[in-house]
Homo-oligomer: A and B are copies of this chain.
Amino acid sequence: MIIYEINKDVIKYRFGNPICTDAVVKEGIEIKNNDLAFKICEEENIKLRYKMNPDDTIYGLGENQRGINKRGGIYESFCSDDPLHTPDKKSLYGAHNFLIIDGSERFGVFVDYPGKVTFDIGFTNKDFLEIYVDDCNADIYIIKGNELRDIVKNFLNIIGEGYVPPKWAFGYQQCRWSYVNSTEVEEIANNFLKHDIPCDTIYLDIDYMEDFKDFTVSKERFPNFKNFVQKMKEKGFRLIPIIDAGVKIEKNYTVYEEGIKNNFFCVDKNGAPFVAAVWPGRVHFPDFLNPDVRRWFGRKYKVLIECGIEGFWNDMNEPAIFYTDRGLKNAIEHAKKSEDENLDIYTFFSLKDSFVNLSNSINDYKSFYHRIDGEFVNHYKVHNLYGYNMTRAAAEGFEEIAPNKRFLLFSRSSYIGMHRYSGIWTGDNHSWWEHILLNIKMMPSLNMCGFLYSGADTGGFNGDANAQLIIRWSQFSLFTPLFRNHSAMGTRNQEPFSFDKDSINIIKSAINLRYALIPYIYSEYMKAIINKDMYFLPLSFIYDDNMSKKVEDQLLVGDSLMISPIYEENAQGRYVYLPEDMLLWKVDDYKNRSYQVVRKGHMYLDVSFREVPIFIRKNKMLVLGKASKNVESLDNEELYVIAFVTDKAKYIYYDDDGKSYDYKKGNYSEIFIEIEKSDKDYHIRIDNRGNEAVKKLHFEIVDINGNLVKLTKAL
């Protein structure tokens, strides 16, 4: 083991000779002794063991099941295409090996290893946290910090600045597997316009392609695609096509032919291109771990970008494998042997399983290879880097194709490091109330691992949603940076206009509220990116009282807000814990505002189906705009500042061009707002540093007694 000091807060323990993942962007210097907080057992594999105190809380692990507090579960980092997110699933699509132990000791751990890592967090024995790395080569980072949030910041600092999408990607987005042709897409758009529901994008799922071939567009279903993209943009909608990892094996299909010619595909043990089957049947997988392959694949996006496309979602990049010829052959042989047999429990389930387990089998993952620095590396060892590097290929391609232009990009599979290139969505969830709660709990954990541009399929992908589920889920998702409604083929339609009139109006109100909140959401998002900070936080990351640690179903959103979403069917209220006095705004129509001071402690809060409760923290403020049909048409000349001031509140309102990366060079504006309460009045100080868009600020300031003062300041 070699020890490196990355900086004063981060120590790296290098075991063996690990494969470089590029997750961490900072180098360190070798140092002598430094005690690792874990007991290590390092024989064939690396095993770390930590004795937890009864009240220790474990945060992190990004995209995973269970609570904000991860204690009690076993988790396996092994990116998995599993569409049934039941509570016992150990792996979802991402591998996010960062966690924080918060107890008598407080520190972060990042296991930088691209194959399988297991975290047994008090499952086998309630008192022990055990980490198994399926290898003897890995980097383990220990991250220090006084407060939980400091530890996260110190971690985000070493993994590099997060992805920023174009501003329009903060609008409402509509998806479906699939809107299969231009007529259907246009119909969806017209429905949004007809119902006056804001929407920025419409998604193209796999059926827009010709036979599921990447970088093709079906001429039959989307004749004159470029014109259609332009036409839709004029209506106010951007189209977002999907790109899959597997490249169809088909003579004369350019991507296939080029990949073969250049040896760009992963290979089997004989060095021949590895064959797996996904949507189009047999495919090859580009070897994204090779920079040349990334460069090649990244440039392929150009054909769609030239049609006016400005955003993509990368899918099936765990990579998902429906079957391989080997697996299918075995299953079919098994079936043939079972013919006319009297199958009992053992033989029947064995036959059934040989078909059920065809997909995403470990044997298949172990049967292909990447070329890394000239050497063949078994896929199984680097599995978690695949989707990451597919998405990196896209991002690097965009940079080359259209330098300094932001694209919308998010991926299903991910590994820490990928957060610099794109967002993620949380995959193929279900229309279950339980999945709203999972969505809530997952958001801060994802933020801890660098993934800020994220959200779930609102309303649930699989299964049928009822109106109330769409209402309550939208009322939460309106706070997530990625706010997309998506559902699977064969399920009930769940676009906002698919329900009864009442419900349509409620969903519309929620989406309108989202657009009115974009000034705040975007400002908070960008500050979190620039300051290496979180956008969603558990209460305990700010408040250090004991009860705040226990709250799993309320979140802090940016610096000013706390939310308490409803995630239970038929509920018209819920319990809320307030770690301090706050100002409650129950939003029905965001234009009608009334506020109530709610006191520190526990409360039962009535929440009708129409209402979204927003809590403004003490001495904090919310900047609110006005809704519009899409982000580009937002008119934010006049903003509303809703403040709860008992003493002094400060806010920095951030904005930028929303399109380029110029913010990285300091090209952004800030309005510093300070409200100080004096005896009877408020002193307001505004320092506008470069914002030319905002002309007026309308203040609505409430004091501890609930007295509201309204006043307006020109800028």
Chain A positions within 8 Å of B, measured between CB atoms, are 66-67, 69, 71-73, 84, 86-88, 122-127, 212, 277-282, 322-323, 328-329, 331-332, 335-336, 338-339, 342-345, 348, 351-352, 355-356, 358, 430-434, 463-464, 466-469, 499-500, 502-503, 547, 550, 552, 568-573, 575, 577, 602-604
Contact = CB atoms under 8 A, between A and B. Distances in A.
A72 B126 contact: no
B125 A342 contact: no
B432 A86 contact: yes
The list of the 3 closest CB pairs from A to B, nearest first, reads A335-B335, A355-B355, A281-B344
Given A69-B569, A356-B356, 11 more contacts: A66-B569, A72-B468, A73-B569, A86-B86, A88-B430, A278-B345, A281-B344, A332-B335, A332-B336, A336-B336, A352-B355
Contact of A570 (B69, B336, B575): B69
A323 B338 contact: no
A344 B279 contact: yes
Contact of A331 (B69, B278, B335): B335
A27 B179 CA distance: 56
A431 B280 CA distance: 37
Contact of A67 (B432, B570, B575): B570
Contacts of A433: 87
**Copies of the protein in its oligomer:** 2
Contacts of A547: 604
Contact of A343 (B66, B69, B328): B328
Nearest to A467: B126
A378 B633 CA distance: 63
A279 B345 contact: yes
Contacts of A469: 72
Nearest to A342: B281
Contact of A338 (B127, B328, B500, B572): B328
Contacts of A356: 352, 355-356
B343 A281 contact: yes
A627 B35 CA distance: 50
B123 A88 contact: no
* Central interface residue in A338, A344, A358, A433, by most chain B CB within 10 Å: A344
A339 B344 contact: no
A430 B500 CA distance: 35
Contacts of A358: 352
A463 B73 CA distance: 12
B88 A463 contact: yes
A507 to B, nearest CB: 13
Given A125-B500, A342-B281, A348 B323 contact: yes
Contacts of A352: 355-356, 358
A570 B122 CA distance: 11
Contacts of A463: 88
B500 A126 contact: yes
A89 to B, nearest CB: 10
A102 to B, nearest CB: 13
A345 B212 contact: yes
Contacts of A502: 126
Contacts of A72: 466, 468-469, 569-570
A280 B343 CA distance: 8
A664 to B, nearest CB: 40
A577 B573 CA distance: 13
A342 B322 CA distance: 12
Contact of A573 (B73, B464, B550): B550
A96 B267 CA distance: 56
Contacts of A464: 88, 123
B71 A570 contact: yes
Nearest to A569: B72
Nearest to A353: B355
A572 B683 CA distance: 44
Contacts of A336: 332, 335-336
Nearest to A574: B575
A280 B281 CA distance: 37
A444 to B, nearest CB: 16
Nearest to A84: B86
A282 B341 CA distance: 10
B66 A277 contact: no
Contacts of A569: 66-67, 69, 71-73
Contacts of A430: 86-88
A575 B552 contact: no
Contacts of A86: 84, 86, 430, 432
A52 to B, nearest CB: 12
17 contacts: A71-B569, A72-B466, A88-B431, A126-B468, A322-B343, A329-B339, A332-B338, A335-B355, A336-B336, A351-B355, A352-B355, A550-B571, A550-B572, A575-B602, A577-B604, A602-B602, A602-B604
A100 to B, nearest CB: 15
A322 B348 contact: yes
A545 to B, nearest CB: 13
Nearest to A86: B86
A346 to B, nearest CB: 9
A88 to B, nearest CB: 5
Contacts of A84: 86
A341 to B, nearest CB: 8
